[in-house]
Amino acid sequence: MSKQLTDLEHDLALLRQMLRIRRFEEKSAELYSAMKIRGFLHLYIGEEAVAVGVAEALGAEDAVVATYREHGHAMVRGMSMRAIMAEMYGKLDGCCRGRGGSMHLFGVKERLYGGNAIVGGGLPVAVGLALADKLQGNNRVTCCCFGEGAVAEGEFHESMNLAALWNLPVLFACENNLYAMGTALELSESVTNLTEKTAGYGVPSAAVDGMDVVAVEAAAKQAVATIRQSGGPYFLESRTYRFRAHSMFDPELYRSKDEVEQWKQRCPIENLKTQLQQQGWLDDAKWAALEKEVADEVADAVAFAEQSDWEPVEELTRFVYSDREG
Amino acid sequence: MTETRKTTYREALNEGLREALQQDERVFLMGEDVGHYGGCFAVSKGLLEEFGPERIRDTPLSESTFTGAGIGAALGGMRPIVEIMTVNFSLLALDQIMNNAATYLHMSGGLFNVPLVIRMATGGGKQLAAQHSHSLEGWYAHIPGIKVLCPATMEDARGMLWPALLDPDPVLIFEPAVLYPMEGTLPEKPTPVAIEGAKVLHQGKDLSLISYGSSLHKSLAAAEQLAGEGIAAEVIDLRCLRPLDDTTIIGSVSKTHRALIVDEGWRSGSLSAEISARIMEQAFYQLDAPVERVCSAEVPMPYAKHLEEAALPQVETIVATARRMLNG
């Protein structure tokens, strides 16, 4: 049965969002090589379907706690490419005035509580945000995104227990890209089926093909519906793959080129694009127009970051403590 | 003359907690055994019955996660008080305190402040050995982004919590465990206290004893003994370990020209070293003698009473050091 027009429009919007993340990050890698961006740069390329799909299940009132691989999460929460690029340039117009960089993107209107670069460190914070909502009677969900590496941290288990014990509305959105930096899942976990891990805490769980944005969206909507109904947590594992190196310093000794190539055949963008083409919804002209629109947005973000000012050094010690009282 | 009433340090803390819970609906307490047990040191006794399990929350033994949950709840609009049983246990939560609570505001370019209060017991003197007795507040005072308090008086035990909760940033309150049963008085209607600045508790002209927490009381006892020998020691209660009140310290040293720092922390790389350095930087030419320190012996705290006493600063050591500084 063919899809309805509105579904196809929606799929095109998902494709556009994934393409924005892809092209933005490809440019970021270039700018890293050109020494415009420094520090660590962790690319999400290959994993775009996860953030895009999960975000579809959340509303503006919901909160997101993410990791150091979070350019995509910031974008799907509505942060502009300009604010992210300027942040990576270390400029004043960056979302955090250039103080956080690639790994620490924060946004108030996006309700994005970082960018946490300590693996597992965001989980307790997400539990606390959900606790605040529960105590204040807010009907909101906190989505905590983390990689499968975090499952090995004590904070994962503590957070799972506490969220279940206190029945807190947290979507634990695990992005399983199979490698904790360079350590394969089977080298670090005794049980590699992650959805089994939460049973001991009484947290319902599901796994989804993280290379299929439509599937991720459906699974995330199911998960959030469960959370809103029960008030309690849910664990959703998206099985995905990082096409690029862990960071710009990674020689990728731990996985074969064949393996990477096989996963690239499952590229979430190519797959959805092909589907839409086959359904006659996306022709070459439409695709070219989409590419151009995204390329223009990326170019605009780079130009914006280039011309943004540096924060005056005199403000170095500002915001160690709050300027205001109460 | 203000009417006073008898109390204990423990009861004063309890009173501060009760008042905070009464005054602000957003305030809640969470930690290990704060509810049904009544608090490991009975500080939160009776609060569960009065305020209920939503606001007095017993937690699992998950220091890192309930501290992180405090950070999240603070970000989400609540005013949490996280109790960690002892400072040694707080090391399990150090990631959350250091990497999240202390950094969020600066790292986010001023977007997200963390109005969180963390309380914990600290210090030795109860024969609890090497995993329950250390004084690590000096470590915490090393970290920009948090404020570090150590109430040593009844007024501060009762009064420091509320302004700490009003503070927009993370505040750590260290309660010397040995002081919990200490008796004293409070005014019938106590006045608010500030959570900044040191206080001169005993005036003197011959040397400055700079101290805080349980060592403060040893310093006061030493000052009394020294007075009998004709030595007028000034005693400073630091109260707030970060930020340090340079003005009061330097003002006192400029008057007495001699400084003895009494700190239950270890000497190496310590808060006492920091205070000594500041005196050198700001009042070197005011000094008539080198700055000296009485600190804990650099050993993991032993269990046996005589060994623990030998490891901790004692009145006799303070008196002997002061005497030597005056008389050569």
Which chain B positions have a beta carbon within 8 Å of A94's beta carbon? 109
pLDDT at A326: 39
Considering only the beta carbons, identify the residue of B70, B108, B167 that sits closest to A100. B108
Distances (CA, A) of A47 to A25, A240, A287: 12, 6, 21
Is A99 close to B109, i.e. CB distance below 8 A? Answer: yes
Q: Does the structure show a pLDDT above 60 at A311?
A: yes
Exposure on the CB side of residue B300, measured as CA atoms within 13 A? 7
Distances (CA, A) of B280 to A33, A178, B261, B289, B323: 47, 55, 13, 11, 21
Residues B144 and B243 in one domain: no
CATH number for the domain spanning B25: value is 3.40.50.970
Is residue A31 included in any domain, yes or no?
A: yes
Mean pLDDT of the B276-295 span: 98
Residues B245 and B166 in one domain: no
Pairing relation of β-strands B4-8 and B233-237?
unpaired
What domain range is A193 assigned to? 5-259+281-307
Residues B39 and B11 in one domain: yes
| Reduced 3-state DSSP string for B188-211 | CCCCCCCCCCCEEEECCCCEEEEE
Catalytic residue at B292? no
Mean pLDDT of the A269-280 span: 95
Q: CA of A144: which chain B residue's CA is closest?
A: B72
Structure tokens at B267: 């000497």
Which chain B positions have a beta carbon within 8 Å of A166's beta carbon? 57
Is B145 close to A320, i.e. CB distance below 8 A? Answer: yes
Distance of residue B56 Cα from the nearest chain A Cα, in angstroms: 12
Q: Does the structure show a pLDDT above 60 at B213?
A: yes
Partner B contacted by A39 (CB < 8 A):
no
Which chain A positions have a beta carbon within 8 Å of B105's beta carbon? 319-322
Residue B240: its H or E element:
strand B240-242
B264 touches B241 (CB < 8 A): no
Is A114 close to B107, i.e. CB distance below 8 A? Answer: yes
Structure tokens at A216: 């991720």
Residues B123 and B231 in one domain: no
Is B166 close to A326, i.e. CB distance below 8 A? Answer: yes
Query: Quick one: what percent of chain B has pLDDT higher than 90?
Result: 98
- A-B Cβ pairs (cutoff 8 Å, strict): 153
Q: What are the φ and ψ backbone dihedral angles of A305, each rounded to 5 degrees?
A: -65, -40
Residue A55: its H or E element:
helix A48-55
If one counts every other C-beta atom within 10 angstroms of the C-beta of residue A196, the result is: 11
| CA gyration radius, chain A | 20
Q: CA of A132: which chain B residue's CA is closest?
A: B73
- Give the whole-angstrom CA distance, residue B234 versus residue B209: 6
Q: Mutate which of B55, B56, B58, B62 to disrupt the A interface (most A C-beta within 10 Å)?
A: B62
Is residue A269 included in any domain, yes or no?
A: no
Residues B183 and B248 in one domain: no
Residue the block writes with tokens 């000052």: B223
A5 touches A36 (CB < 8 A): no
Q: How far apart are the first and last CA of chain B?
A: 43
Distance of residue B253 Cα from the nearest chain A Cα, in angstroms: 29
Residues 121-180 of A with CB under 8 A from B: 121, 123-133, 135-136, 142, 154-155, 158-159, 161-162, 165-166
Summary mean pLDDT of chain B: 97
Is residue A265 included in any domain, yes or no?
A: no
Strand partners, A205: A235
Residues B40 and B136 in one domain: yes
Is residue A249 included in any domain, yes or no?
A: yes
Q: Is A74 helix (H, G, I), strand (E, B) or coil?
A: helix
Distance of residue A265 Cα from the nearest chain B Cα, in angstroms: 38
Distance of residue B222 Cα from the nearest chain A Cα, in angstroms: 37
Residues contacting residue B181 through CB under 8 Å, at least 6 positions apart: B8, B9, B10
Choosing from B187, B209, B227, the residue where a domain stops is B187
What domain range is B54 assigned to? 4-187
Q: Does the structure show a pLDDT above 50 at B120?
A: yes
Is residue B317 included in any domain, yes or no?
A: yes
DSSP A152-207: GSHHHHHHHHHHHHTT--EEEEEEE-SEETTEEHHHH-S---GGGTTGGGT--EEE
Is residue A323 included in any domain, yes or no?
A: no
Residues B253 and B147 in one domain: no
Residues contacting residue A262 through CB under 8 Å, at least 6 positions apart: none
- Give the whole-angstrom CA distance, residue A102 versus residue A39: 8
For residue A213, the one-letter residue type is V
Q: Does the structure show a pLDDT above 60 at B272?
A: yes
- In tens, the pLDDT along A123-154 reads 999 999 999 999 999 999 999 999 999 999 99
Is residue A266 included in any domain, yes or no?
A: no
Residues B10 and B134 in one domain: yes
Exposure on the CB side of residue B10, measured as CA atoms within 13 A? 16
Angle, nearest 10°, between helix axes B63-75 and A122-136? 50
- Give the whole-angstrom CA distance, residue B223 versus residue B315: 9
Q: Domain count of chain A? A: 1
Is residue B38 included in any domain, yes or no?
A: yes
Choosing from B156, B187, B218, the residue where a domain stops is B187
Pairing relation of β-strands B4-8 and B183-187?
antiparallel
Partner B contacted by A316 (CB < 8 A):
no
| Cβ-based interface (< 8 Å): residues of B facing A | 28, 54, 57, 59-60, 62, 64-78, 80, 95-96, 99-100, 104-113, 144-145, 147, 166-169
Pairing relation of β-strands B117-122 and B207-211?
unpaired
ipTM of the complex: 0.96
Is B76 close to A123, i.e. CB distance below 8 A? Answer: no
- Give the whole-angstrom CA distance, residue B87 versus residue A8: 58
pLDDT at B114: 98
Choosing from B137, B163, B187, the residue where a domain stops is B187
Q: Domain count of chain B? A: 2
Is residue B194 included in any domain, yes or no?
A: no
Mean pLDDT of the B307-316 span: 97
Is residue A188 included in any domain, yes or no?
A: yes
pLDDT at B1: 58
Question: What angle is formed at CA A12 by the lines to CA A8 and CA A17, rounded to 5 degrees?
Answer: 150
* Set B63, B155, B175, B308: catalytic member: B63
Question: What angle is formed at CA B245 by the lines to CA B241 and CA B248, rounded to 5 degrees?
Answer: 130
Give which of A171, A24, A173 is closest to A102, Cα–Cα. Answer: A24
CATH number for the domain spanning B307: value is 3.40.50.920
Give which of B236, B235, B305, B313 is closest to B270, Cα–Cα. Answer: B313
pLDDT at A2: 57
If one counts every other C-beta atom within 10 angstroms of the C-beta of residue A137, the result is: 6
Q: Does the structure show a pLDDT above 80 at B208?
A: yes
Mean pLDDT of the A14-39 span: 97
Residue the block writes with tokens 């309700």: A111
- In tens, the pLDDT along A257-272 reads 999 999 999 999 999 9
Distance of residue A43 Cα from the nearest chain B Cα, in angstroms: 20
Q: CA of B71: which chain A residue's CA is closest?
A: A125
pLDDT at A324: 57
Is B72 close to A165, i.e. CB distance below 8 A? Answer: no
Residue the block writes with tokens 């995993």: B131
CATH number for the domain spanning A234: value is 3.40.50.970
If one counts every other C-beta atom within 10 angstroms of the C-beta of residue A203, the result is: 20
Catalytic residue at B132? yes
Distance of residue A259 Cα from the nearest chain B Cα, in angstroms: 35
pLDDT at A171: 98
Summary mean pLDDT of chain A: 96
Mean pLDDT of the A88-113 span: 98
Residues B222 and B265 in one domain: yes
- Four-CA torsion B53, B54, B59, B60, nearest 10 degrees: 90
Distances (CA, A) of A309 to A39, A51, A251: 19, 30, 34
Q: Does the structure show a pLDDT above 90 at B328?
A: no
Is B107 close to A99, i.e. CB distance below 8 A? Answer: yes
Q: Does the structure show a pLDDT above 60 at A169?
A: yes
- In tens, the pLDDT along B86-100 reads 999 999 999 999 999
A269 touches A282 (CB < 8 A): no
Look at chain A and count its residues: 326
Considering only the beta carbons, identify the residue of A124, A129, A130 that sits closest to B64. A124
What are the contacts of B276-279 at 24+ separation with CB within 8 A? B278/B244, B278/B246, B278/B249, B278/B250, B279/B249, B279/B250, B279/B253
- Give the whole-angstrom CA distance, residue B70 versus residue B55: 13
Query: Quick one: what percent of chain A has pLDDT higher than 90?
Result: 94
Distance of residue B137 Cα from the nearest chain A Cα, in angstroms: 19
Residues B282 and B214 in one domain: yes
Residues B222 and B84 in one domain: no
Mean pLDDT of the B226-247 span: 98
- In tens, the pLDDT along B131-164 reads 999 999 999 999 999 999 999 999 999 999 999 9
Q: CA of B165: which chain A residue's CA is closest?
A: A326
Is residue A123 included in any domain, yes or no?
A: yes
Q: Is A26 helix (H, G, I), strand (E, B) or coil?
A: helix
- Give the whole-angstrom CA distance, residue A189 versus residue B287: 61
Is B109 close to A127, i.e. CB distance below 8 A? Answer: no
Question: What angle is formed at CA B263 by the lines to CA B257 and CA B264, rounded to 5 degrees?
Answer: 160
pLDDT at A1: 45
Is residue B192 included in any domain, yes or no?
A: no
pLDDT level of residue A282 (50, 70, 90 thresholds): very high
- In tens, the pLDDT along A183-210 reads 999 999 999 999 999 999 999 999 999 9
Q: Is B294 helix (H, G, I), strand (E, B) or coil?
A: strand
Residues B173 and B210 in one domain: no
* Set B11, B32, B132, B308: catalytic member: B132
A211 touches A271 (CB < 8 A): yes
